[in-house]
Structure 1
Amino acid sequence: MTAHVLIVRFSSIGDIVMTTPVIRAVKRQCNGGDVEVHFLTKRGYLPLLAANPCIDRLHAIERKVGEVLPQLRSIPFDWVVDLHNNPRSFQVRRGLGCPAQVVRKGTARRWLNIHLGLDVLPPGHMVDRFMATVAPLGIQNDGLGLDFFLRPEDEVDPELLPRRHREQGYVAWVIGGQHGGKLYPAKWVAQACRELGQPVVLLGGPEDRVRGAQIAAQGGEGVFDACGATSFNQAAALVRDAVCVVSNDTGLMHVAAAFKKRVVSLWGATVPAFGMSPYLPGEGSLVLEAQCPGRPYSKHGGKLPLRAPYTCWDGLEPAKVVAAVQGG
């Protein structure tokens, strides 16, 4: 008899991408592969999973679980895999009343590390914690890393890029980030672009247009600013086609790992020890951390040190980033 499994993760981009090893493993291993995999998230994140062949059905909410609970109750779920573990996901578990496996995120330990400086962070990557959640179901990590699938409409018109970028290849530099403490300083990005001396494509959302224009104006003729010019999935297509990806701690960093790109990840207010570093990225990938004392400053990078702006990036000057990119 076909099993039915509901995987729950509401946000955000990087976390949803990091659930993909669980999605794939459940689809291939649960009940001998005779399983329907359902996934519940917020509506705005549906494009991230729309092309994933391991998901049989997507469900989404705008704000409240009640929007989708009647629909979910009509499906005979055997298990809920809760990879969010928050009040909303608890409502899903309670509303369905079927057996559930719930991720242990280590939130309390992370708080103690950030606010008291205690070295009590949970070991391992967040993907490993997600996989541990389904281990009681007999699901094992297949070691294949992250997935990210694109639809035909996600492909980018090659003419979007300058001829030099198309012919020589380019470095994709992800300048965006949801929180200020994750944003590598614009003037340093521009300086690194000048010193690289090779084509660079700047990637970010509409909120990054001002920073992108500033960097492009100061970064030299090899810089092409694509911030706000593409959808997220189109930006992912540009990441896929890059020769190397430089990224803040943000969603496209995880997409780059899914495409097995060589990733140079930059860490300021947050730290990779949270378990959020690129998971099984391409060969030659590097994790570069600032050396400012007191890191990490917050869980998501929203809190900066009390000194001058950008001091959370001390010790990670442009020359180090350039050397890391060119070292590949």
Structure 2
Amino acid sequence: MGDISKNRVASSLQDSKEEASFHLLVIRFSAMGDVAMTVPVLQRLVKTYPNLKVTVLTKPFFQPIFEEIPGVNIVTADVNQKYKGIFGLFELAKELKNLQIDAVADLHNVLRTKILRFFFFFFGIKSAVINKGRAEKKELTRLEPKTIKPLKSTHQRYADVFAELNFPVDLNQSVVINKHPLPQVIKEKLKQPRKWIGIAPFAAHEPKMYPLDQMEKVIAALDETNLYDILLFGGGKKEKQQLEKLAASYKNVFSVVGKLSFKEELQTVSNLDLMLSMDSGNGHLAALFNIPVITIWGATHPFAGFAPFQQKAEQQILPDLKKYPLLPTSIYGNKQIEGYDEVMHSISVEQILHAIIQTV
């Protein structure tokens, strides 16, 4: 194993076209949005280096996301049970070493991946790790004095890790993205030739969630046109109940929550004409399939680098920054400051509808 030299990487890519001679392990365990954001980068990595062998290490739930990348091996690990703690991670590292890994790209950079990197270092395997830009992000969300400027995208931060391992990736190159067959339960609900709009109204934290009563007005206006079929996405028992109640009030609205496996949800998303989401994972899932995504931002801001992949700036709807000049106040939406609890109300229903009509 040992250190990776540029000459070794170059020679590995020139070897036999029949098999890859360089094996790269890519680590990303969570969260869903961050996991989804790795996919466009990995798609371009394997297209650029067709002889490179890539193995992705992730949680079992996220396997269907990485199945969107042709030619990538997927290893899942339950780090909360089987591979829990330092001893569990050591067993995992030994198993991965047996796959004859040449280098590791840590796209997560949390405690458990730091421990794994330590073990790989002990085994003589080089690693590169994402720079999350914590200092820059802290500056972006500092209340006063306020400086707002776009930071490096998370996609580019992922690409930088591969560049450090001498596998630079051009994120602007095109890749072929295919739609999946629709699950039967969805096929029975959707009508042709209408447009299919996905709406994911929830977010992990309230400061970045558009009020549900306002979102219902958006849904009601779309439903009234009789031009669209609207699919509601979410998760959890409470969200399931809320979305089913909402869907029952309108003739062209259907909640997919609890009716599909995660893989079937991805298949459904790949067929949408538009996704409307918060700053959350569903927007990133839609972007995997080149679906136009309209994103609603509250306490967070696309300048932090978490905008869905290659989406237009005009599709990112922001609150009234003149009324709320301290935005963004949080990177992940988990912080709320006094006087900013009505931020989302500064985004009108008409703004959202206009963005949808202009995009779909």
Output the CA distance in 1 between the equivalents of 2:349 and 2:268: 23
The match for 1:106 among 109, 113, 133 is: 133
Which consecutive residues of structure 2, in runs of 5 or more, have no partner in the other structure? 1-11, 13-20
Question: 2:30 aligns to what SS in structure 1?
Answer: coil
Counterpart of 2:7?
Answer: none
Counterpart of 1:141?
Answer: 170
Output the CA distance in 1 between the equivalents of 2:355 and 2:150: 28
- Measured after TM superposition, the shift of residue 16 of structure 1 is 1.3
1:303 counterpart letter in structure 2: K
2:353 counterpart letter in structure 1: V
Output the CA distance in 2 between the equivalents of 1:147 and 1:289: 31
Counterpart of 1:326?
Answer: 357
Output the CA distance in 1 between the equivalents of 2:281 and 2:70: 21
Output the CA distance in 2 between the equivalents of 1:290 and 1:161: 37
Distance 1:284 1:166, change over 3 A: farther
Question: 2:294 aligns to what SS in structure 1?
Answer: strand
Identity %: 23
Counterpart of 2:24?
Answer: 5
Output the CA distance in 2 between the equivalents of 1:246 and 1:161: 22
Counterpart of 1:274?
Answer: 304
Contact conserved, 2:295 with 2:316, CA < 8 A, in 1? yes
Counterpart of 1:36?
Answer: 53
Distance 1:303 1:145, change over 3 A: farther
The match for 2:154 among 111, 123, 126 is: 126
The match for 1:162 among 189, 205, 221 is: 189
Counterpart of 1:78?
Answer: 102
Q: Does 1:227 align with 2:257?
A: yes
TM, length-normalised to structure 1:
0.86
Output the CA distance in 1 between the equivalents of 2:217 and 2:327: 25
- Measured after TM superposition, the shift of residue 158 of structure 1 is 4.9
Q: Which has the larger radius of gyration?
A: 2
Counterpart of 1:23?
Answer: 42
Output the CA distance in 2 between the equivalents of 1:167 and 1:284: 28
Output the CA distance in 2 between the equivalents of 1:145 and 1:298: 33
Question: 1:242 aligns to what SS in structure 2?
Answer: coil
Name which of structure 1's ranges 294-303 and 260-269 shifts more when overlaid on structure 2: 294-303
2:183 counterpart letter in structure 1: V
Distance 1:123 1:301, change over 3 A: closer
Question: 2:346 aligns to what SS in structure 1?
Answer: coil
Distance 1:162 1:112, change over 3 A: same
Contact conserved, 2:299 with 2:343, CA < 8 A, in 1? yes
Q: Does 1:288 align with 2:307?
A: no
- Measured after TM superposition, the shift of residue 51 of structure 1 is 4.9
2:133 counterpart letter in structure 1: G
- Measured after TM superposition, the shift of residue 268 of structure 1 is 1.1
Contact conserved, 1:51 with 1:151, CA < 8 A, in 2? no
Question: 2:118 aligns to what SS in structure 1?
Answer: helix
Output the CA distance in 1 between the equivalents of 2:148 and 2:314: 26
- Measured after TM superposition, the shift of residue 95 of structure 1 is 0.5
Q: Does 1:45 align with 2:45?
A: no
Question: 1:170 aligns to what SS in structure 2?
Answer: strand
Contact conserved, 2:27 with 2:104, CA < 8 A, in 1? yes
Contact conserved, 1:20 with 1:147, CA < 8 A, in 2? no
Counterpart of 2:111?
Answer: 87
Output the CA distance in 2 between the equivalents of 1:28 and 1:323: 37
Question: 1:199 aligns to what SS in structure 2?
Answer: strand
Distance 1:21 1:172, change over 3 A: closer
- Measured after TM superposition, the shift of residue 183 of structure 1 is 2.0
Output the CA distance in 2 between the equivalents of 1:87 and 1:145: 34
1:287 counterpart letter in structure 2: Q
Counterpart of 2:73?
Answer: 56
Distance 1:284 1:306, change over 3 A: closer
The match for 1:175 among 201, 207, 211 is: 201
Output the CA distance in 2 between the equivalents of 1:159 and 1:151: 12
- Measured after TM superposition, the shift of residue 52 of structure 1 is 2.8
Q: Does 1:312 align with 2:343?
A: yes
Aligned-residue CA RMSD (Å): 2.8
- Correspondence list, 1:176-195, <5 A: 176-195=202-221
Name which of structure 1's ranges 239-248 and 61-70 shifts more when overlaid on structure 2: 61-70
The match for 2:331 among 299, 303, 309 is: 299
1:304 counterpart letter in structure 2: Q
Output the CA distance in 2 between the equivalents of 1:67 and 1:151: 37
Question: 1:7 aligns to what SS in structure 2?
Answer: strand
- Measured after TM superposition, the shift of residue 57 of structure 1 is 3.7
Distance 1:19 1:8, change over 3 A: same
TM, length-normalised to structure 2:
0.79
Contact conserved, 1:4 with 1:78, CA < 8 A, in 2? yes
Counterpart of 2:4?
Answer: none
Name which of structure 1's ranges 57-66 and 239-248 shifts more when overlaid on structure 2: 57-66
Q: Does 1:260 align with 2:290?
A: yes
